[in-house]
Amino acid sequence: MRLIKQYPLISFFFLAYAIFWIIWIPLIPHLQNLATFDIAPWVIFLALVGIYAPTFAALIVVSVSEGHNGLKRLLAPLWDWRLRWTWYATAIFLPLVLAVAAVLIHLGITKQYSLLTSFNWLAGVPVFFASIPLLMLTKLPLGPMAEELGWRGFALPRLQRRMSALSASLILGVLWALWHLPAFWVPGAALSMDELPTMMGILQYVVNVVGLTVVFTWLYNSTRGSLLIDFLFHAAYNALPTLLFVTTSITPSSFTWVTWTVAIFLILKYGPQKLAREKVTKE
């Protein structure tokens, strides 16, 4: 308990990693059919408990180090929904815009121009947009609600007390990406269904997540630390593989280039110190 009070941020990362890895590593052989949910109910339950590790870690550390008032401050952003509608639209549709740009780059590189000129994919557009609300609802309880209270609600503002928003994003991005390591050996959990974990694949994943973290920080700081916006952005990003079934697969490198282009634009526009008009450093 004394160590948690003395080193709350380090304690948070330690607990987030420990809880997730201790639960998921033994489950890896049982999670090979995760994408089809052809696994035992007890495995699904434990897997869900594991992905909530960042939330559990944040709640434990704040309970020990800051008590009841600290918990109220930690949870307060969950109810802060009074934002301009443009921020909600940005959170929901920005990942889709990034993905479409990546698809266009992919088609240009592979010279699959027929997919653009045939317009056969237009038949799927109504289904595409109709599926967005349902997919968002199904994705919210997984990564967004499981992780964001920890990564953005707890860790990000505390990192920003000590350093610039950009430095905080780079550190958090690497730690957030590597936290997923056990999931790399579960098809469809972190990497695509047919992608085997390799050093290059893991490096690609880390670079992409770090770029996304810069965008997350911009959203978080620009909305007074709203976790609802982060939930929506995270859910929209996680829904991309399903949403884009009407087009073509996105090469990881294309999406990473597009993500980092946006991240660099935000850094240049708002500056590395704040990555927004205001820097959120909640007590």
Quick one: pLDDT at residue 175? 97
Is residue 101 a part of any domain in this protein? yes
Q: What is the pLDDT of residues 209-252, one digit of tens each?
A: 999 999 999 999 999 888 999 988 988 888 776 655 433 345 56
Q: What is the pTM of this model?
A: 0.87
Quick one: pLDDT at residue 255? 81
Is residue 275 a part of any domain in this protein? no
The H or E element containing residue 70 is helix 53-75
Quick one: pLDDT at residue 241? 65
Q: What is d(CA 55, CA 9) in angstroms, rounded to the nearest whole number? A: 13
Is residue 102 a part of any domain in this protein? yes
Residues 50 and 20: beta-carbon distance below 8 Å: yes
Q: What is d(CA 172, CA 213) in angstroms, rounded to the nearest whole number? A: 7
Q: Which tokens belong to 225?
A: 């630390």
Residues 135 and 258: beta-carbon distance below 8 Å: no
Amino acid at 31: L
Listed range (34-48, 98-112, 142-156, 194-208) with the worst mean pLDDT? 98-112
Is residue 169 a part of any domain in this protein? yes
Is residue 25 a part of any domain in this protein? no
Quick one: pLDDT at residue 280? 73
Quick one: pLDDT at residue 248? 36
Is residue 206 a part of any domain in this protein? yes
Is residue 201 a part of any domain in this protein? yes
- In the chain, the number of structural domains is 1
Quick one: pLDDT at residue 50? 94
Listed range (3-7, 42-46, 189-193) with the worst mean pLDDT? 189-193
Quick one: pLDDT at residue 196? 73
What domain range is 223 assigned to? 82-270
Spatial CA neighbour of 282 closest among 157, 151, 150: 157
Q: What is d(CA 236, CA 94) in angstroms, rounded to the nearest whole number? A: 8
Q: What is the pLDDT of residues 119-145, one digit of tens each?
A: 444 444 555 565 566 666 666 767 788
Between the CA of residue 205 and those of 88, 116, 202, 231, what are the distances in Å?
26, 28, 5, 20
Q: What is the pLDDT of residues 52-80, one digit of tens each?
A: 999 999 999 999 988 889 888 888 888 87
